[in-house]
Amino acid sequence: MPKCCVVGAGRVGLVAAACFAEAGYATICIDSNQEKLLTLQDGLLPFYEPGLQELIRRNLNCGKLQVNSCLSEAVRTSDIIFLAVGTPVNQQGEADLSDLNHVVDELVQIGRELQDKRIIVNKSTVPVGTGDNLSRRLGKANGCYHYVSNPEFLREGSSIRDFTVPDRVVIGTDSNRTYEDLANLYKTFLPETTPFLKCSLEEAELIKQVANAFLGIRISFINEIANLCEQVGADVRKVVQGIGLDRRIGTSYLKPGPGFGGSCLPKDMRSILATSRLKRVDLSLIEAATRANELQRQLVVKKIKSVANDSQLQKTIGILGLAYKPETDDLREAPALDIIRLLIREGFKVKAYDPVCNPEAQKLFPGVSFASDPYDLAKDCDLLVLVTEWKEFGELDFLRIRKIMRSPQVLDCRNILDGDRLCQIGFTYFGAGISSTCVEHS
């Protein structure tokens, strides 16, 4: 059985390491951050991901999984080395590959003393062309390394399921032998029906970014249509149902909201746009979807202003949900952060609540008051704005909330609440892409 090494104990690396160990492979996860390693050795996680803590604890306890910082020892004792280090992208779309480059430099050093073959599998998202460069550099180490691009398609909040029941496995390499070795590792624990795709390094790198860009385009598309629905007396949910019944279209990634966030969709779209500028290829659709996504947050604030603005009184807005989506503690590029910033700039008093992100968000907004639960949030608010669709928000007691709000008004940016019922019990309800018919009932 091949031994695995995963470099990088982040959201992708830890999931991969835990799942390989769970599948029975002896796995070492390497990270240079000692604090993170101590947290893991104590059986805790440096971030929130459902189910991962138990998986890591179990495999650390039975010895299938180890975590430490010694790359050279891990490379010597492993057959397949997965790279899952951070590759952040700046506002211009330029990727910071310094961590990846550092690991590759170390691998070249270590490789000079290796006698036999190792497969280096890159899971970090990189601009197209990076793999070719890394592969050539790794080639300087006695020819012992075979570099493969094997992008990950995990969604935060459902990473373990996405890793163990993936829609597909993409393997970029020109070597049949290396492809077989890696595919065979996966085939021992993935469902038999999992499609495998062999392609070039460039194609694998593009597939990762193009998939995210396409999802971003779908979301921006439906957000714009939702904005139109509000103006023409339509309900976007019906429109999505109607177009989704066309099997060529379907309904996934067509839920309107305050715009997509997280570290992946926005980042990959900026990165592919940077490549397009470099190669002088027009990617105007991706550009437009990115711009529409920025505008969508501003439109939420415009709506809030039209509902709650009153020059005589300073209105209090309660933000329900801060994470960029439920089941994660990730605040990167979260729409709620932009919305709060803009509201403060407009002179509103802002309160906020998130089931897991309060402590991190507090550091970003010292002037915002953070509530201990949704009812504490609703106290004295003029408008509640549901930004993240945490399941528990769909189960709130709105009769209780109506009594403690200053004025019973809700803006549901994710359409998870029952607007009709809220109107019946005295709320003014606004959805996303739902025209104002409900409001007229109140």
Closest contact distance (angstroms) between CB of 132 and ligand UGA is 21
Q: How far from the centroid of its chain's Cα atoms is residue 309's Cα?
A: 33
Residues 128, 87: Cα–Cα separation, whole Å: 13
Residues 358, 23: Cα–Cα separation, whole Å: 35
Residue 85 near residue 8 (C-beta atoms within 8 A): yes
Q: How many CB atoms lie within 10 A of CB 65?
A: 26
Residues 319, 334: Cα–Cα separation, whole Å: 13
Residue 146 vs 414, nearer CB to ligand UGA: 414
**Residue 48 burial (10 A CB sphere; 0-12, 13-18, 19+):** middle
DSSP string, 73-100: HHHHH-SEEEE-----B-TT--B--HHH
Token pair for residue 303?
Answer: 């709506």
Closest contact distance (angstroms) between CB of 254 and ligand UGA is 6
Residue 95 vs 110, nearer CB to ligand UGA: 95
Residues 163, 176: Cα–Cα separation, whole Å: 23
Residue 110 vs 357, nearer CB to ligand UGA: 357
Q: Which of 121, 33, 57 is nearest to 84 (CA)?
A: 121
Q: Which residues contact 381 (CB under 8 A, 6 or more apart)?
A: 316, 317, 318, 351, 405, 406
Closest contact distance (angstroms) between CB of 110 and ligand UGA is 28
Residue 6 near residue 48 (C-beta atoms within 8 A): no
Residue 45 vs 254, nearer CB to ligand UGA: 254
- Helix H or strand E segment including 320: strand 316-320
Task: Give contact residues for ligand UGA (rule: CB under 6 A).
Answer: 125, 152-156, 212, 215, 219, 253-255, 257, 260-262, 264-265, 324-325
Closest contact distance (angstroms) between CB of 68 and ligand UGA is 25
Select the residue whose beta carbon is closest to ligand UGA and give its number.
Answer: 264
Residue 138 vs 337, nearer CB to ligand UGA: 337
Strand ranges of the sheet holding 349-353, from the earlier edge strand across to the other edge:
369-370, 349-353, 316-320, 383-386, 409-412, 428-430
Q: Which of 258, 268, 394 is nearest to 337 (CA)?
A: 258
Closest contact distance (angstroms) between CB of 86 and ligand UGA is 11
Specify the 3-state DSSP secondary structure of 213.
helix
Residue 213 vs 308, nearer CB to ligand UGA: 213
Residue 47 vs 253, nearer CB to ligand UGA: 253
229 has catalytic annotation: no
Q: Which entry of 19, 229, 264, 413 is annotated as an active-site residue?
A: 264
**Residue 44 burial (10 A CB sphere; 0-12, 13-18, 19+):** exposed
Residue 43 vs 244, nearer CB to ligand UGA: 244
Amino acid at 427: F
Specify the 3-state DSSP secondary structure of 204.
helix
Closest contact distance (angstroms) between CB of 208 and ligand UGA is 7
The number of residues making up the chain comes to: 442
Amino acid at 386: L
Residues 200, 303: Cα–Cα separation, whole Å: 47
Residue 96 vs 113, nearer CB to ligand UGA: 96
Residues 385, 374: Cα–Cα separation, whole Å: 11
Amino acid at 255: K
Closest contact distance (angstroms) between CB of 163 and ligand UGA is 10
Q: Which residues are catalytic?
A: 264
